[in-house]
């Protein structure tokens, strides 16, 4: 992974770090099985919770003879990380741990992930391959506006960028004025942050009269850490002229750089030589064949600090079948547009915030600043969507604005099948975020 | 013969209109006339100011979305039937009024109104042909001083 290896590969169409992406399927499966067997042994020997669960099922490490045998193994969940807080799921002694990361848990305590030196290298490799897939090269100037710290976004992309030889600007989140100034002055070509924060940057930039297409050198945006839609991608690209890439990952599995989309945008290629994906039926937990939709599950084949066996992500996706025109053999998962945890039940109907976003984006000229408020009026759930008025949508004519409200309402109803009250809001008044944005306020939870 | 009107989106919440007026006052911009069109849910503030470019700039800097439209300021006789006469002229010219509101000052014995027409040029032509006073910006703002 040393840098000198890439010194002569400035503008190569296929970056050498991407080589494992193209491994022949047969050899890839053999490698995965070999790594899985080693992992199961390590976890069985070092993690009491998993050993207990395997013993209860009568499963021993040597029972893993094919990749399909992974279905014999117990799942891990976020609640396990919470129950075993802080170090119960560690498979390496503290002597080998070099870094912790935390992510917010379902209750007060965070979940803690320990990384060994090797885990950090594997993670960096994933981020390098993700960036290389986006077309990022050593000549790029990359602004990392993900938060640095316990959250994995900042440090993950940072090491990925440095690994490729980019000039990295580790600005972290926040201080939007300075972000815009440095982006412009330093000729930043790659921005890495959450899609909602980038929208905020666009918004503030436009307020200052900055034309992103003319006054910025940005080429690529590497966006992740929250679900977003294809419609949002179109908005970002048409407003700024950049190519918006989708990067996926989660702290429990390492961080960003678990999967990323290639130029054909047929889902996100998973770096499955390290992160083995499965799709299971969320109710029965039975494995589903490629192509079917269900809950995404990952096994961290090479991690040693806090390895995850069949970790249930709560994200809904499917594994694409058939080859991708880019030639990669690592499989791709469908873009994550829904997290089970985000699902709202409104008047008995399952609604994902991303469906509402898709409806909003289908209306011409609606800018993507919105907030969803779910409440209750008597026995009936209420759904209100606040949408900010923009230069494009504002008219001095009441009828035009009422028609806009109607168009938004119909577009949303077409997708979620329930009616919503659309409220137009003054510009820059809805909550903004410098990290992961909170799009929903559920007032029913306070009752 | 047309004058510039700036308009802003407003949520129906206490203090919001006040904030707009304060922003303009701080920039020493005098509001010649103001009209508020509102629904249950939101409102639109329409303003006539002399330095409309400066007003637009300070309001945008304060985060508002500002729209600039051309409107027509015309005199209407302040007597019974005065309004009907003007509407007649406009109607015969085949022009529709999208909205209208009044200035606080008078032009001699006449009232001055702001009109937003769907076809301003044709309306101006018809009004002038019938001997009505239509104001350009310079004359209009001189009246206010
Ligand atoms: Zn591909």
- Every domain of chain B and the residues it spans: 3-69, 70-143
Q: Is B33 on the interface with A (CB under 8 A)?
A: no
DSSP state of A388: E
Strands (E), A91-242: 97-103, 111-116, 141-144, 167-169, 190-193, 220-223
> Which chain A residues are closer than 8 Å to B39 by Cβ?
398, 402
Residue B42: which of A391, A424, A429 has the nearest Cβ?
A424
Mean pLDDT computed over A341-361: 88
| Phi/psi at A412 (5° precision) | -70, -45
Nearest to A113 by CA among A70, A148, A78, A145: A78
Per-residue burial over A10-40, b = 16 or more CB atoms within 10 Å of its CB, e = otherwise: eeeeebebbebbebeeeebeeebbebbbebb
| CA–CA dist A42, A90 (Å, integer) | 11
Mean pLDDT computed over A174-191: 96
CB-based contact B60:A428 (threshold 8 Å)? no
- Residue A1: per-residue pLDDT: 46
Of A269-273, A435-439, B28-32, the range with the lowest mean pLDDT is A435-439
CATH 3.30.2130.10 fits domain B3-69? yes
CB-based contact A244:A233 (threshold 8 Å)? yes
Q: How confident is the model at residue A289 (pLDDT cuts 50, 70, 90)?
A: very high
- Residue A105: per-residue pLDDT: 61
Q: Which of B4, B5, B6, B9 to mutate to probe the A interface, most A CBs <10 Å? A: B9
Mean pLDDT computed over B95-112: 87
| CA–CA dist A136, A263 (Å, integer) | 12
**Pairwise CB contact (< 8 Å): A424 & B9:** yes
Distance, C-alpha B87 to centroid of its chain: 17
Answer yes or no: is pLDDT of A367 > 70: no
| Phi/psi at A123 (5° precision) | -65, -45
Q: For residue A226, give both structure tokens.
A: 């929250």
Mean pLDDT computed over B33-55: 91
- Residue B79: per-residue pLDDT: 87
Q: Is B4 on the interface with A (CB under 8 A)?
A: no
Average confidence score pLDDT of chain B: 90
CB-based contact B141:B30 (threshold 8 Å)? no
| CA–CA dist A275, A266 (Å, integer) | 19
| CA–CA dist A115, A92 (Å, integer) | 9
Same fold, B3-69 and B70-143: yes
Ion ligand 1: residues, Cβ under 5 Å: A 262, 264, 324, 326, 328
Mean pLDDT computed over B138-143: 84
Q: Is B39 on the interface with A (CB under 8 A)?
A: yes
CB-based contact B117:B125 (threshold 8 Å)? no
Higher pLDDT pick, A338 / A152: A152
- Residue A10: per-residue pLDDT: 67
Mean pLDDT computed over A93-109: 86
Mean pLDDT computed over A52-58: 97
- Residue A429: per-residue pLDDT: 87
Q: Peptide bond preceding A147: is omega within 30 degrees of 0, i.e. cis?
A: no
Strands (E), A251-322: 255-261, 268-270, 275-280, 294-300, 311-317
Q: Say how many residues make up chain A.
A: 447
CB-based contact A297:A313 (threshold 8 Å)? yes
Residue B98: which of A207, A397, A428 has the nearest Cβ?
A397
Q: Is B59 on the interface with A (CB under 8 A)?
A: no
Mean pLDDT computed over B29-56: 92
Mind listing the pLDDT tens digit for each residue in A314-325? 999 999 999 999
Answer yes or no: is pLDDT of B78 > 90: no
**Pairwise CB contact (< 8 Å): B65 & A389:** yes
Structural domains in chain A plus CATH codes: 8-23+115-338 (3.40.50.12780), 343-446 (3.30.300.30)
Answer yes or no: is pLDDT of A17 > 80: yes
Range with top average pLDDT, A55-59, A205-209, A379-383: A55-59
- Residue A4: per-residue pLDDT: 53
**Pairwise CB contact (< 8 Å): B37 & A398:** yes
**Pairwise CB contact (< 8 Å): B39 & A402:** yes
CB neighbours of residue A53 within 10 Å: 18
Average confidence score pLDDT of chain A: 92
Strands B42-49 and A370-377: unpaired
Per DSSP, the three-state class of A75 is: coil
Mean pLDDT computed over A136-157: 95
CB neighbours of residue A349 within 10 Å: 12
Q: For residue A125, give both structure tokens.
A: 């490799």
Nearest to A334 by CA among A290, A301, A273: A290
Mean pLDDT computed over A104-131: 90
- Residue A101: per-residue pLDDT: 96
How is the beta sheet containing A275-280 ordered, strand by strand?
A275-280, A294-300, A311-317, A338-339
> Which chain B residues are closer than 8 Å to A426 by Cβ?
9-11, 16, 64-65
Helix, strand, coil in percent for chain A, rounding step 5: 35, 25, 40
CB-based contact A231:A358 (threshold 8 Å)? yes
Mind listing the pLDDT tens digit for each residue in A327-350? 999 999 999 877 888 889 898 888
Mind listing the pLDDT tens digit for each residue in B13-27? 888 899 999 999 999
ipTM score: 0.82
Mind listing the pLDDT tens digit for each residue in A235-266? 999 999 999 999 999 999 999 999 999 999 99
Answer yes or no: is pLDDT of A72 > 80: yes
Q: How confident is the model at residue A2 (pLDDT cuts 50, 70, 90)?
A: very low
pTM above 0.95, yes or no: no
Fold entry, domain B70-143: VC0802-like (3.30.2130)
Q: What percent of chain A has pLDDT over 90?
A: 73
**Pairwise CB contact (< 8 Å): A426 & B64:** yes
Q: Is B105 on the interface with A (CB under 8 A)?
A: no
To which residue do tokens 């014995």 refer? B109
């Amino acid at each position: 992974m040393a840098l000198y290896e890439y010194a002569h590969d400035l503008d190569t169409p296929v970056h050498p770090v991407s080589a494992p992406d193209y491994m022949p399927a047969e050899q890839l499966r053999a490698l995965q099985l070999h790594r899985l067997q080693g992992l199961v042994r390590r976890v069985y020997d070092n993690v009491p919770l998993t050993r207990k669960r395997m013993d209860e099922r009568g499963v021993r490490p040597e029972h893993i003879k094919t990749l399909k045998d992974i279905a014999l193994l117990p799942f891990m969940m976020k609640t396990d990380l919470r129950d075993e807080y802080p170090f119960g799921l560690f498979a390496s002694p503290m002597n080998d741990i070099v870094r912790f990361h935390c992510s917010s848990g379902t209750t007060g305590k965070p979940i803690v992930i320990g990384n060994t030196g090797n885990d950090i290298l594997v993670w960096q490799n994933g981020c390098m391959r993700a960036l290389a897939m986006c077309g990022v090269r050593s000549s790029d100037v990359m602004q990392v506006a993900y938060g640095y710290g316990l959250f994995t976004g900042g440090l993950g992309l940072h090491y990925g960028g440095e690994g490729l030889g980019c000039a990295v600007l580790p600005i972290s989140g926040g201080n939007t004025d300075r972000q815009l100034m440095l982006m412009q002055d330093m000729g930043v070509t790659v921005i890495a942050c959450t899609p909602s924060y980038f929208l905020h940057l666009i918004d503030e930039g436009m307020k200052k009269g900055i034309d992103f297409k003319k006054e910025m050198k940005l080429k690529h945006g590497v966006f992740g850490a929250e679900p977003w839609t294809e419609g949002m991608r179109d908005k970002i690209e048409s407003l700024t002229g950049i190519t918006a890439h989708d990067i996926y990952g989660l702290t429990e599995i390492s961080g960003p750089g678990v999967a990323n989309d290639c130029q054909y945008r047929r889902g996100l290629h998973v770096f499955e030589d390290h992160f083995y994906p499965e799709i299971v039926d969320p109710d029965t937990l039975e494995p589903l064949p490629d192509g079917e939709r269900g809950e995404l599950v990952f096994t961290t084949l090479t991690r040693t600090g806090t390895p995850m066996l069949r970790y249930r992500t709560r994200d809904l996706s499917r594994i694409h079948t058939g080859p991708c025109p880019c030639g990669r053999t690592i499989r791709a998962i469908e873009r994550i547009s829904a997290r089970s945890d985000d699902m709202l039940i409104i008047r008995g109907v399952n609604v994902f915030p991303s469906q509402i976003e898709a409806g909003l984006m289908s209306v011409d000229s609606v800018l993507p600043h919105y907030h969803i408020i779910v409440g209750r009026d008597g026995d009936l759930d209420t759904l209100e969507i606040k949408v900010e008025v923009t230069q494009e949508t504002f008219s001095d004519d009441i009828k035009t604005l009422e028609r806009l409200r109607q168009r938004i309402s119909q577009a949303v109803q077409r997708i979620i099948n329930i009616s919503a009250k659309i409220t137009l809001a003054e510009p820059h008044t809805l909550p903004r975020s410098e990290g992961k944005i909170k799009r929903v306020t559920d007032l029913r939870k306070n009752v | 013969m047309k004058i510039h009107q700036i308009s802003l989106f407003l949520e129906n919440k206490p203090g919001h209109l006040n904030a707009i007026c304060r922003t303009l006052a701080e920039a020493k911009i005098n509001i010649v006339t103001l009209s508020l069109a509102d629904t249950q849910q939101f409102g639109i503030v329409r303003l006539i100011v002399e330095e409309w470019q400066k007003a637009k700039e300070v309001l945008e800097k304060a985060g508002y979305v500002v729209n600039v439209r051309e409107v027509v300021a015309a005199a209407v006789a302040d007597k019974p039937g005065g309004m009907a006469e003007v509407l007649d002229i406009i109607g015969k010219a085949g022009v529709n009024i999208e909205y209208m509101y009044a200035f606080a000052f008078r032009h001699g014995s006449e009232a001055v109104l702001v009109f937003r027409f769907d076809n301003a040029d044709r309306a101006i032509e018809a009004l002038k042909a019938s001997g009505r006073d239509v104001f350009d910006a310079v004359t209009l703002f001189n009246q206010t001083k």
